[in-house]
Amino acid sequence: MAMNFSDIDSAVDHKDLQKSIQEAKNNSGDIPKGKYMVGIDKMELRKTKDGRPMFFVQARVREGRFKKHCVFMNRVVYGTKNDGSMIQSVLTFLEKFQTDTVPEFVNYTQFAECIADIYEEIQGKIECEIQYDRDAFNSISITEDSDGEPNVFDI
């Protein structure tokens, strides 16, 4: 038996919804592993569906064939087999931005604030070259130059 969705259909602007669907289609999808220049669109400590803290990054490709497409990194930092290693991997990622805010973990509340402060410092101000591989442990890794310096650039 088919459900009646007429009440929802009458409440939705289908033209805007179709536009939103097309935009999502154009800005997502399978991006092959490789190097990309990206800007950081979102970076935060959020909760997983089961309520555990998870580091989340959304980066948008700035040039090339996949321009405007997004890549993501998620790292659960509590309730894993090795929470310390998960937190350290996030700290290592954050250190590459070389911000005034020093990446550190004292507790989860402070860690969320630290991540928010670092994001505020870099939001709309930097681009970075990354190595992306959705199947890797670190799906997004900021590349380094020959001197070992992170490839993070002011815009």
Q: What is the pLDDT of residues 130-139, one digit of tens each?
A: 999 988 888 9
Cα–Cα separations (whole angstroms), residue 45 to 13, 75, 91, 92 = 33, 9, 12, 15
Model confidence at 103, pLDDT cuts 50, 70, 90, reads very high
Residues ≥6 apart with Cβ < 8 Å to 143: 35, 128, 129, 130, 131, 150, 151
Model confidence at 117, pLDDT cuts 50, 70, 90, reads very high
- Domains, the chain, in order of start with CATH, read 31-154 (2.40.50)
Q: Tell me the average pLDDT of the chain.
A: 90
| pLDDT above 90 for 3 | no
Cα–Cα separations (whole angstroms), residue 111 to 11, 83, 88, 95, 116 = 41, 13, 12, 13, 9
Question: Is the model more confident about 5 or about 74?
Answer: 74
The three-class DSSP label of residue 1 is coil
Looking at residue 38, its pLDDT comes to: 97
Task: State percent of the chain over pLDDT 70.
Answer: 92
| pLDDT above 90 for 23 | no
| pLDDT above 90 for 2 | no
Strand pairing of 53-61 and 34-47? antiparallel
Residue showing tokens 């799906």: 139
Model confidence at 22, pLDDT cuts 50, 70, 90, reads low
Q: What is the pLDDT of residues 47-102, one digit of tens each?
A: 999 999 999 999 999 999 999 999 999 999 999 999 999 999 999 999 999 999 99
The three-class DSSP label of residue 136 is coil
